[in-house]
Each structure stands twice: as structure tokens, then as C-alpha cells.
Amino acid sequence: MSYLVLARKWRPQTFDDLVGQKHIGRTLEKAIATGRVHHAFLFTGTRGVGKTTSARILAMALNCEKGPTANPCGVCGSCKQIKSGSGLDVMEIDGASNRGIDDIRNLREQISYTPAGGKFRIVIIDEVHMLTKEAFNALLKSLEEPPPNFIFIFATTDPNKVPETILSRIQRYDFKRISAEDIFDRLKYICTEEKIGFEEPALRFVAQKANGSRRDALTLLDQVIPFCKDGITIAELKPVLGLLDQSLFIELFNSIQEKNEAELLQKTTSVLAEGIDLGELANGLTEHVRNLLLSKIPNISRDVLLLSEAETKACAQQAAKFEAADLLRISDLLSSLTMRLTRSPMPRFELEAALLKMARLDKAVDIAKLLDGSFSSDSKKKTEYAPPQPLTQPTNIPLPPEPPEMEAPEKVSSEPLNLSPTAMASDWKLVIRTLSGDLMQIGTFLSLSNVSHADDREIHIMLPPNHKFQHSQLSSSDNTRKIEEWFKKKMNYHGRVLIKLTPESGSAGATGGQQQSGPVISIQKKTSINDAIKKEPIIGSILDEFEGEVIG
């Protein structure tokens, strides 16, 4: 007897068997139970998530001798014929090889016949997006006025290529990628039923390698079972599937964090010497950055991380050594790396260069920590002013004058002002300073604004024409609500607040500074940075101390 592969042997037979697609199964079950079955469906999703399988289950449910029923028996003549692909009333067509107008014309001739033995005639077209434009046009008439008891079920991995004229006439069901945890549970169940020994971490590796595809997971399982004589283990799994252990990425990122470039390149060389594909390594690095970023989120679930308990703990410990901003910058480097690997004549050098860039990235600094003085670093320069030492020999060179003491930033009270609209307009800067005490970001966005009109009904706040970003932020419903509520509470003003841009002729554009090395400090008030430094001297000190730059 010929061997039946696991993907076929364990193909779902009912909607309850669908892995990771319960939302679709429940919807179709209710449609059948209430007799509201549409005449045309479109099942979309990546490969191996259950589109064609669901189409066959729907066909069995409609043509079962006990149906239509949401739970086909699977043993009657109609169900057996559909499962074997020999049913006269169910046609399966490959859209990639039967994509022309003549193929669709032949199909239209066949669908005019009444069901041979079942209750419905059903046509399943896989990869329907491969049909030509003319073939789709030939289908329109049948979709608009289908024959009695006739149903179309289309499946595709690329719904964007299906014409709108077709999409508007069918019900669309989106199949999601199956989570690694759901795939793992299915693999565990199948191995138990097949009496195959396994290590749970090994099955998790297979589930992750499947990338959301149940069929791919079972195909991989079929591949490793003959190789693993004493059960599926991680040690035997890796050489078969080319899997990289999570510990490898922990080690690589330890070298990145410690800026140990020699060790980083040596570890990479050792990995590549084992025949690991460059693209696979880059993908693994990207996945690890994702795990580190998510590990920084409090109470993150292992279902989201797709890691074992031990791996989750290891990622959390390493994530604590990185700032989220640094991980995002590393993610950008890896994103561009994956695109360059396929085009570069020296892909290995592209990988090594990217790793060196990661190791040489300056650590991101939170400006809030700089402002409140809580940031400390071995490389931080001393900011205290050191008075000049007395000269040991007489000299006519005058000593430098003592620097003036920096004034502390003005603290603004956020007590209610209770100003009239006219008074608010005439003393708008005071209003902004008071508002900033409660709504700092909004106050910053309003720093260069003025009032063009104010009465009991409305107040019009004008921004410079080049402050489009500030305008978009302040005009959001959430921020506008916050401003109006603040005016009611602090100013006893119950009118509307309108945020507007001054016409272009009313102000000049702003210019940005040149890029420099060192930490970067972002300040929105690009047109008045000198004023900001005068008002807040500590900002100027930070820029000088860390060789920072102002960006917009």
C-alpha cells in the first residue's frame, strides 16, 4: 500500500477540524444552518492555511446525503466522492493552468447541467487570480445570474489581482496565518496519534519554520520523521531543516551590545561555515530583534513571542540591556540588509557590514532623562564649570571672566486665569505658558501661535504656515477636545477652539541645521531654536556637551 503523506492523511474533514480558522468555520456553519448560503465565495490567504480544504468541507456540507448540514457525515457516497475528488457534482479547477477564455467557456457549458446526484453543482477554482481578463469577463454573466443550485468557490493567495467587478458579486473570507502555537498543538496531537516520540521544543521549531502554514508544517514533519529514529529531537532536527538555535542569536546580540566586533564576526563565520544560508541568518536576526522589542512590553504573552518558556526568559534578560530606540535602529539596518542580499555581488560582506554597523551604533539617549539629570554614562563629559587655576608666574594675559550663572527655567503656575476672550488674545503668551504646565506637548506645539479672533463663541488659534505637523497634531479630535476642556476648566471659556494655519504669505519658511555626529535631540520649534536656548539654557548645555544637533 502506498504511503499517504501526513498533509493529506490529516486534512480537516469538518469545520471544527480547521486549525486557526474558527471564525470562518463558525460563519459558514451558521449560513448553512439558516439556509443563507451565497452562490459565490472567495477564500483568500497565504498557502497552506486551509482555503481549498474549507472549500471541500463546504461542498460536502451542502451535498451530504444528510444535509445540507454544518456537520457532514464524511461516510456517505457523496462525501466520499468529494474527498477523493471523483464527485460528478463538484469540479476542482486549477486557475493557473486553465486560465483562458476558452476554458471558462467550456466551464459555462458544463454548469448549465443540473446536479447529477447531489443537491448542488459546485465549482472550486484554485488560484483564481491567475485567470485572464477575458476569462474573468466571461465569468461575470454566470456570477450575476447563476443557474439554480449552483455555487462558485474561488481560492487565491493574491486577492488584489481579482477584478473589482468579480469581488463585488461574491462573499469574501480572509484566512489568517495560523499561529505557531496552534500549529504546535496540531503537530503534538498528530504525533501522539501516530505514536511518534518527540521533544516539545523540537515541534515548536517545526511550527515556527512553517511560517503560519499548517500544510508546510506537516510536510516538514514528514521530512524529519524518517531521519529521527528515536523520536523528533532538536539535535537531529537542526541539520535536516537548517534551523538556527535561539542561543545563537542571544550570543550574537551579546557581542553587539558589548561592541565586541572581532567576536561578532568570528561567530558569524562559524555559523556560515556550517552551510547556513545568508538570507536565513538575516531573517533569524530580524526575528530575534522582534522578540527583544516585544519582550520589553510588560506582561507580554508567549503566544505573541512564539518562544518557549526558557527562550522567553532569555530574551527578556537580553532585552533589558537594549533601549527600544536602539532595537528599532537595528531593525532598520536588517530591513535594508535583506533587500541588498539578493542584489549584491558580495552578499556575505553586506551581512558583515550590517553587523559592524549594529555594534558601532551610539546608544540612544532619552532627552527627558538628560533634562532631569538622571542620565549617567562613562562617556559623559563633566559639565561643571571649573574656574581657572592661578598662574604660577606673572603674566599680562588677563584671566577669563567668570561665566554668568544660568537662570533656572521659569516655573509657570497652572492656576485658573479666568480671562475674557479679549484678554486671552492680548496676553496669549501667558495663556500658552499656563497651558504648558498641564499639557506640555500641546503647549510646545502652540509656542509660535497667535490669536486672530476671540469672542464668547469661538477662538481662532493661528499657526505659522510651515507648522503643518503641529497643525495636524493639534487638529486631531483628541487634542482639540483636551484644549477645549482645559479652556473650560482653567479659563472658564466655553466656546469652540479652532486651529488654523496662517496663509503662506504671512510668514517665512524655516531652515534646518546641518547634520552632525553624536546623539540627536529633536525639537519641534525649529524656527525659534535660539529663543528656546535663551529661555532654557540647559538645552544649549546639552547640545554642547553631547555634540548634539537639532532636527525637525
Q: Where in the chain is the domain with CATH 1.10.8.60?
A: 180-241
Q: What pLDDT score does 381 carry?
A: 44
What fold is seen in the domain 6-174?
A: Rossmann fold (3.40.50)
Q: What pLDDT score does 368 carry?
A: 59
Q: What pLDDT score does 62 carry?
A: 92
CA 226 to CA 224: how far, in whole Å? 6
Closest by CA to 177, choosing from 124, 147, 216, 136, is 216
CA 283 to CA 289: how far, in whole Å? 10
Which CATH class for the 180-241 domain? mainly alpha
Q: What pLDDT score does 551 carry?
A: 53
Please report, as a single letter, which amino acid is at residue 300: I
DSSP state of 118: S
C-alpha cell at 206: 517545526
Q: What pLDDT score does 162 carry?
A: 92
C-alpha cell at 176: 489568517
C-alpha distance from residue 441 to each of 281, 374, 413, 415, 496 (Å)? 42, 21, 16, 18, 20
CA 190 to CA 194: how far, in whole Å? 6
Q: 508-552, pLDDT tens digit by residue?
A: 444 333 333 334 434 444 445 555 554 555 565 565 556 555 554
CA 344 to CA 341: how far, in whole Å? 6
Q: 310-362, pLDDT tens digit by residue?
A: 888 899 999 999 999 899 999 999 999 988 898 889 999 999 999 999 999 88
CA 4 to CA 53: how far, in whole Å? 17
What fold is seen in the domain 246-360?
A: Zinc Finger, Delta Prime; domain 3 (1.20.272)
Q: Where in the chain is the domain with CATH 3.40.50.300?
A: 6-174
Q: 437-464, pLDDT tens digit by residue?
A: 888 888 888 988 999 888 888 999 999 9
Query: Cell numbers 500641546 correspond to what residue?
Result: 442
Query: Cell numbers 460536502 correspond to what residue?
Result: 60
What predicted TM-score, i.e. pTM, was given to this entire model? Answer: 0.57
Compute the chain's Rg from CA coordinates: 33
Low-confidence ranges of the chain (pLDDT < 70): 1, 242-243, 302-303, 306, 364-415, 505-552
Query: Cell numbers 556560515 correspond to what residue?
Result: 272
Q: Where in the chain is the domain with CATH 1.20.272.10?
A: 246-360
What fold is seen in the domain 421-506?
A: GMP Synthetase; Chain A, domain 3 (3.30.300)
Q: How far is CA 454 from the centre of its chain?
A: 44
Query: Cell numbers 476542482 correspond to what residue?
Result: 92
CA 58 to CA 29: how far, in whole Å? 9
CA 47 to CA 41: how far, in whole Å? 18
C-alpha cell at 403: 561665566
Q: How far is CA 384 from the centre of its chain?
A: 45
